[in-house]
Amino acid sequence: MQANSHISFERLQLTRALCAPFLSFKHITDRLTFMKNENRAPHPRKENAQTRNGRCIALIDSNYMAWLLKQSTDTDAESDAEAEAYNRQALIPTLVQTLKQAGLALDVQRVYWYTDNPDSQFPQDQILRALDVTSGEPSEVAFSAMSADIARLSERKACEHLLIASDDDRLTASIDEAQLHGLNVYLLADESARHMDQLINEDPAWCRLLAQADRRVLLMPQAAKELTAQPRAAAAPAAPQDPELVRTRLQEVVDGWWDDEPEDLREDLRDELRGSHGIPQEVDRHMLLRVRRALDRPLSFPEKKILREMVRNKVLGVTEEILPA
């Protein structure tokens, strides 16, 4: 018994001796991995990974937006009119995506658009602030309107977040006051906002305005392309058609359908219609499809009613003279 214990102890010692190099190697590699991760600088997105949520209202100076789109698309417009050809239908979705890229999952509820040159677009959830430049310089009028709206929105706590597109450094005090009321304020900017250390020497006033914002939100080239893409033209309304011509065409379709029906199906349909006020569903679908193909458009509700009356009258043998006018 003692001999066996002695042998087992020797085997255990031998096993430990054989495994020691491998255990030591694993210990060294684990330590190296820890040291590597310990010295690695955190990724900037993970370092600022805090995401904010809530309601946001955007205040956009159209003249500044024209300049910003030129910077972001890196193209020269052929004329001022072309430079200000925005697609405001895409504005809110583009702003939402731009904010999301900055770590701001915000619901842009409304946009205030400040301009001295109103366009012919009428997008939802956008309020046009038409600036009367006859009362002063365009920049002065825009500053007065935007600062007044910032003050009212912050005092009434209409939202938790403001997105401002302007380079007027006189708004710094208004932004500061809004932040003191508890609002988070963000500024829409171009790529130069990435290099604040250079911007402080090149444009100190613009740099101070950007520094006042809680976050600087960069308009990327893809977003700028979406905002400068031509808006989809509204579909032209269908030209009104003569009711009598439509009625004649409907009657032709009904007559052609009835002539193609076999006599036994005609009799079955007559029996079915004598005890009802409408027409069978399958007949209704078939006739609507035939008429749609003939007219190359769907029927209006009154036209559908006329078609169904024509089908009943044809099946039951009612003459054209007593059809309702």
| 300 and 168 fall within a common domain | no
Amino acid (one-letter) located at 59: L
| 248 and 194 fall within a common domain | no
Q: Does residue 263 belong to any structural domain of this protein? A: yes
Kindly report, residue by residue over 307-316, the tens digit of the pLDDT: 999 999 998 8
pLDDT grade, residue 156 (50/70/90)?
A: very high
pLDDT grade, residue 265 (50/70/90)?
A: confident
What local confidence, expressed as pLDDT, does residue 12 receive? 57
| 203 and 268 fall within a common domain | no
| 318 and 192 fall within a common domain | no
Distance set, CA 303 to CA 88, 90, 258 (Å): 38, 37, 19
Rounded to whole angstroms, the Cα distance separating 94 from 226 reads: 7
| Phi/psi at 274 (5° precision) | -65, -25
| 58 and 153 fall within a common domain | yes
Q: Does residue 43 belong to any structural domain of this protein? A: no
| 104 and 222 fall within a common domain | yes
Highest-confidence range of 71-75, 233-237, 319-323, by mean pLDDT?
71-75
Residue with structure tokens 């444009």? 203
User: Of 228, 255, 275, which residue is a domain's last?
Assistant: 228
What local confidence, expressed as pLDDT, does residue 234 receive? 52
> Is-contact 38 92, C-beta < 8 A?
no
Residue 47 predicted with pLDDT over 80: no
Q: Does residue 204 belong to any structural domain of this protein? A: yes
Rounded to whole angstroms, the Cα distance separating 253 from 190 reads: 62
pLDDT grade, residue 214 (50/70/90)?
A: very high
| 93 and 221 fall within a common domain | yes
Residue 322 predicted with pLDDT over 60: no
Range of the domain at 143: 52-228
Q: Does residue 10 belong to any structural domain of this protein? A: no
| 124 and 153 fall within a common domain | yes
| 97 and 187 fall within a common domain | yes
User: Of 228, 263, 289, which residue is a domain's last?
Assistant: 228
Overall average pLDDT of the 62-90 stretch: 72
Question: Of the candidates 178, 66, 187, 58, which has an alpha carbon nearest to the alpha carbon of residue 113?
Answer: 58
Q: Does residue 37 belong to any structural domain of this protein? A: no
Mean pLDDT (the chain, rounded): 81
User: Of 228, 252, 286, which residue is a domain's last?
Assistant: 228
Kindly report, residue by residue over 246-261, the tens digit of the pLDDT: 899 999 999 988 988 8
* Angle between helical axes of 301-316 and 263-274 (0-180°, round to 10): 110
| 185 and 74 fall within a common domain | yes
HEC per residue, the chain = CHHHHHHHHHHHHHHHHHHHHHHHHHHHHHHHHHHHHHHCCCCHHHHCCCCEEEEEEEEEEHHHHHHHHHHHHCCCCCCHHHHCCCCHHHHHHHHHHHHHHCCEEEEEEEEEEEECCCCCCCCCCEEEEECCHHHCCHHHHHHHHHHHHHHHHHHCCCCCEEEEECCCHHHHHHHHHHHHCCCEEEEEECHHHHCHHHHHHHCHHHHHHHHHCCEEEECCHHHHHHHHCCCCCCCCCCCCCCHHHHHHHHHHHHHHHHHHCCHHHHHHHHHHHHCCCCCCHHHHHHHHHHHHHHHCCCCCHHHHHHHHHHHHHHHHCCCHHHCCC
Q: Does residue 287 belong to any structural domain of this protein? A: yes
> Is-contact 102 219, C-beta < 8 A?
no
Residue 76 predicted with pLDDT over 60: no
| Phi/psi at 75 (5° precision) | -130, 155
Q: Does residue 79 belong to any structural domain of this protein? A: yes
Overall number of domains in the chain: 2
Question: Of the candidates 63, 64, 61, 73, which has an alpha carbon nearest to the alpha carbon of residue 227?
Answer: 73
Q: Does residue 313 belong to any structural domain of this protein? A: yes
Highest-confidence range of 1-5, 31-35, 46-50, 213-217, by mean pLDDT?
213-217
pLDDT grade, residue 228 (50/70/90)?
A: confident
Highest-confidence range of 121-125, 166-170, 262-266, 272-276, by mean pLDDT?
166-170
| 216 and 310 fall within a common domain | no
| 105 and 179 fall within a common domain | yes
